[in-house]
Amino acid sequence: MPTERSDSDSRKLLRRLRDVLGNKAKGQDRLDQITKLIAGSLGTEVCSIYLFRDPETLELCATEGLKKAAVHQTRMKLGEGLVGRVARNGLPINTADAPSEKGFRYMPETGEELFSAFLGVPIQRVGEKLGVLVVQSKAARAYSEDEIYALEVVAMVLAEMTELGAFAGDGNGMGALHKQPVLFRGETGQEGAAEGRVWLHEPRVVVTNPVADDPLTEIDRIREAVGVLRVSVDDLLSAESLDKDQKQVLEAYRMFAHSRGWLRRMEEDIAQGLSAEAAVEKEQSATRARLEQVPDAYLRERLHDLDDLSNRLLRILTGQGKDTGAEMPDNPVLVARNIGPGELLEYGRKLKGVVLEEGSVGSHAAIVARALAIPMVIHAERITNEALNGNPILVDGDQGVVHLRPEDTVARSFRDKVAMQAKAMERYASLRDLPATTKDGVTISLHMNAGLMADLPSLIGSGAEGVGLFRTELQFLVRNQMPRREELAQLYSRVMEAAQGRPVAFRTLDIGSDKVLPYMKPQDEPNPAMGWRAIRVGLDKPGVLRMQLQALIRASGERPLSIMFPFISEQAEFLEARGHVLREMHREKSLGHVVPKALEIGAMLETPSLAYAPDAFFQLADFISIGGNDLKQFFFAADRENERVRKRYDTLNASFLTFLQFIVARCAASGTKLSFCGEDAGRPIEALAFAAIGMRNLSMRPASIGPVKALLRRVNLAEARAVIDKARSEGAETVRPALMDWLATQGE
């Protein structure tokens, strides 16, 4: 391999590669021609192409210089041997003495023991790992920086060719990209099943011309596109409504957009023969590979910015904007790396499902998906690389599984499952107007949780008696600035109207922990779940709390009003918060406004401490609502957002149930109304256990009301209580098995 390669050598090679793409040869022939071309042009004894057979396995697909018999026989796992390591890390490996390199795996069928020097570079396209390109030679020498660079440029062209399907089919076992079924195992963001077609939030940019004839034209194109990009970022920055944080992010964007190094690297790629688009992608791939290696969260964010800018630049170059002209299918399943709650709300209920590569159960997008009852799977890694607009897709939100381009058999059994669920829904619908009365005559009030105007139609549809928890923070989370009092008053008033006289418990703003308002300075807290959140923020910065209370009072007019405060940990907090309500009532009255005829002020019990508050607190509170999601995490000291520990402790753990029963007893002693509004209230077995230990009000997502009611109506509550008591007296850790065994003996 000559050490000095001129730009024109490189351009010549790329053009010949492009000619291979243009000829009518079959996939395997093309690969063979290409390895020969590269070896010849670079003057190296071996050139081999390894491509992914499946996401975990690489296969030697063509070689010049190694034994031909090894082609399609030699395979290695991702991370295995030098080739596997190049693929995993997305970074080149260059060594003069491959056999002594750490991780080297000897593959006798290839005859590679003859070759000492090894240079492998990833074939990747914007973070999508496609394979590895390797050159080897007998002489023990390290390849120069120039040679590595030249090979990377070639690999970029191969990546585009692979993406365009140049090597597929032809009985070589390499299926075309984006054609095979793929299963993604992620996590549940929102339960439910959906079948539909992929709708990419950010469609893939297709590059059809990786190689360019005229570098000068390409350099003009890239300079012009970068110019347009710079102006657009500057325009964004000059907008007046920006707050400090948004400005900071955009400043980082501007720094990258104006970075000389970035443009220079892309110009160098072009000089080697790449088109402007391929040059952007080459640098973007390098950024993504670096991104995966960086442990520092701040730096990763900045690299994300650069990634985002590259996408914008590609769109400018190709003219493929967000609006690619593609038509949204009738049954769209949104596929995205991540999405903000506002954007998700814009799509609204027309989405059948949502699949994200990132996100978390507690993310705002997940909260919105839950509020809209759209099945959602998060952490479906690499799905944006695999999915194409219009691909068939099945989303199993219960299992956190996604089938992309499913086989017929998979689709059929999935449909059976959905049909069974639909049948069950019909059965639940027939119970809508019946009470949740148990066989021994105890009636449990079932309410629903809500947070958006869009939830309200479910109130009538689900048969809920009212809204037991209205999470007001969603209105704050989906905006870019603090909503105004009048806006909120209008919204609350519409909520009350839609409730048609049914009670609605408005929970005041519950922010902090994972719910960060885009326009509030983020707190750098070591443990935000136990930090400055919910009522703590409300009491320390009472301006927003007071504004919200005024909006609620004005929205009510004369109608009854029910307000509850989140995360009350001690009596004093409740007294102070309640004082704000009374003062605002007084103020509104003195301004001559009408005020609610009936007012209820309640507290959410989300920390164990409140269960031991003085009697006076229980007497003063008009009602108490158990926020089981938080209460459980603090009872067991197990983070509700941490998948590892979240499921470790059963809600039906005897200690937890006994603790809940203690709260029931305290409320009974003071005559305080009690309800439970955490997610567990919507799980039928849990709901039954809560009812059995004395709770009479449960609030849950609307879809859970049917299943919970159906179960309650078929059991005798006193018997269930006896089962629980017996299990506890026998020292059971959790009463679940006993309850399940007993339920199995009960009729339909």
Residues that bind ligand PEP (CB under 6 A): 469, 471, 510, 606, 627-630, 677-678
Task: Please count the other Cβ atoms lying within 10 Å of the Cβ belonging to residue 238.
Answer: 9
Rounded distance, CA 397 to CA 364, Å?
17
The H or E element spanning position 600 is strand 599-605
Rounded distance, CA 101 to CA 87, Å?
16
629 or 661: CB nearest ligand PEP: 629
Task: Report in angstroms how near the CB of residue 606 gets to ligand PEP at its nearest.
Answer: 5
Q: Are 257 and 229 in contact (CB under 8 A)?
A: yes
405 or 701: CB nearest ligand PEP: 701
Task: Report in angstroms how near the CB of residue 737 gets to ligand PEP at its nearest.
Answer: 25
Which entry of Mg ion, ligand PEP, none binds 642, CB below 5 to 8 A by partner kind? none
User: Known catalytic residues?
Assistant: 364, 677
Task: Report in angstroms how near the CB of residue 623 gets to ligand PEP at its nearest.
Answer: 14
Q: Are 705 and 684 in contact (CB under 8 A)?
A: no
Rounded distance, CA 432 to CA 705, Å?
9
| CA count, 13 A, side-chain hemisphere, 302 | 13
Max distance between CA atoms of the chain, in angstroms, equals: 95
Which entry of ligand PEP, Mg ion, none binds 628, CB below 5 to 8 A by partner kind? ligand PEP
In order, the DSSP letters of 295-310 are: --HHHHHHHHHHHHHH
**Which residue has tokens 């973007």?**
284
Phi, psi of 618 (to 5 degrees): -65, -35
584 or 606: CB nearest Mg ion: 606
18-57 residues labelled b (16+ CB within 10 A) or e (exposed): bebbeeeeebbbbbbbbbbbbbebbebbbbbbbbbbeeee
Site for Mg ion in 593-612 (CB under 5 A): 606
Which entry of ligand PEP, Mg ion, none binds 186, CB below 5 to 8 A by partner kind? none
Rounded distance, CA 356 to CA 162, Å?
25
Give the pair of three-digit tokens for residue 93: 């490996």
200 or 477: CB nearest ligand PEP: 477
Rounded distance, CA 142 to CA 97, Å?
8
Q: By CB under 5 A, how many residues form the interface with Mg ion?
A: 3
Task: Please count the other Cβ atoms lying within 10 Å of the Cβ belonging to residue 99.
Answer: 14
Q: How far is CA 136 from the centre of its chain?
A: 42
Task: Report in angstroms how near the CB of residue 83 gets to ligand PEP at its nearest.
Answer: 47
Task: Report in angstroms how near the CB of residue 545 gets to ligand PEP at its nearest.
Answer: 17
Using CB under 5 A as the binding rule, whether residue 628 contacts Mg ion is answered as no
Task: Report in angstroms how near the CB of residue 119 gets to ligand PEP at its nearest.
Answer: 53
195 or 606: CB nearest Mg ion: 606
147 or 573: CB nearest Mg ion: 573
The H or E element spanning position 700 is strand 697-700
Q: Which of 583, 578, 371 is nearest to 477 (CA)?
A: 371
Which entry of Mg ion, ligand PEP, none binds 191, CB below 5 to 8 A by partner kind? none
Strands of 332-336's sheet, edge to edge?
182-185, 401-404, 392-396, 193-200, 332-336, 353-356, 376-378, 187-190
Q: How far is CA 451 from the centre of its chain?
A: 20
292 or 525: CB nearest ligand PEP: 525
Binding mask 34-63 for Mg ion (x = CB under 5 A): ------------------------------
Q: Are 284 and 317 in contact (CB under 8 A)?
A: no
Task: Report in angstroms how near the CB of residue 412 gets to ligand PEP at its nearest.
Answer: 37
Task: Report in angstroms how near the CB of residue 677 gets to Mg ion at its nearest.
Answer: 9
Rounded distance, CA 380 to CA 643, Å?
15
208 or 609: CB nearest ligand PEP: 609
Which entry of Mg ion, ligand PEP, none binds 554, CB below 5 to 8 A by partner kind? none
Which entry of Mg ion, ligand PEP, none binds 399, CB below 5 to 8 A by partner kind? none
Give the pair of three-digit tokens for residue 146: 């120039």
186 or 678: CB nearest ligand PEP: 678
Which entry of ligand PEP, Mg ion, none binds 455, CB below 5 to 8 A by partner kind? none
Q: Are 348 and 372 in contact (CB under 8 A)?
A: yes
Please give the radius of gyration of the chain, using alpha carbons only, rounded to the nearest integer.
Answer: 31
Q: Are 595 and 589 in contact (CB under 8 A)?
A: yes
Degrees, nearest 5: CA angle 742-446-689: 25
Using CB under 5 A as the binding rule, whether residue 630 contacts Mg ion is answered as yes
Which entry of Mg ion, ligand PEP, none binds 122, CB below 5 to 8 A by partner kind? none
- Beta partners for 271? none
Task: Please count the other Cβ atoms lying within 10 Å of the Cβ belonging to residue 164.
Answer: 16
Candidates 112-120, 140-148, 587-595, 628-636: pick the segment binding Mg ion (CB under 5 A).
628-636
Which entry of ligand PEP, Mg ion, none binds 518, CB below 5 to 8 A by partner kind? none
Task: Report in angstroms how near the CB of residue 365 gets to ligand PEP at its nearest.
Answer: 15
Rounded distance, CA 367 to CA 341, Å?
8
Which entry of Mg ion, ligand PEP, none binds 90, CB below 5 to 8 A by partner kind? none
518 or 678: CB nearest ligand PEP: 678
661 or 716: CB nearest ligand PEP: 661
Q: Which of 437, 427, 432 is nearest to 448 (CA)?
A: 432
Rounded distance, CA 403 to CA 377, Å?
11
**Which residue has tokens 């009472």?**
542
Using CB under 5 A as the binding rule, whether residue 627 contacts Mg ion is answered as yes
203-212 residues labelled b (16+ CB within 10 A) or e (exposed): bbbebeebbb
Task: Report in angstroms how near the CB of residue 523 gets to ligand PEP at its nearest.
Answer: 17
Candidates 30-38, 154-162, 458-466, 626-634: pick the segment binding Mg ion (CB under 5 A).
626-634
DSSP 3-state of 648: coil
Give the pair of three-digit tokens for residue 11: 């351009």
206 or 529: CB nearest Mg ion: 529
Which entry of ligand PEP, Mg ion, none binds 84, CB below 5 to 8 A by partner kind? none
Phi, psi of 355 (to 5 degrees): -130, 125
Task: Report in angstroms how near the CB of residue 668 gets to ligand PEP at its nearest.
Answer: 21
Task: Report in angstroms how near the CB of residue 595 gets to ligand PEP at its nearest.
Answer: 28
Query: What residues line the site for Mg ion (CB under 5 A)?
Result: 606, 627, 630
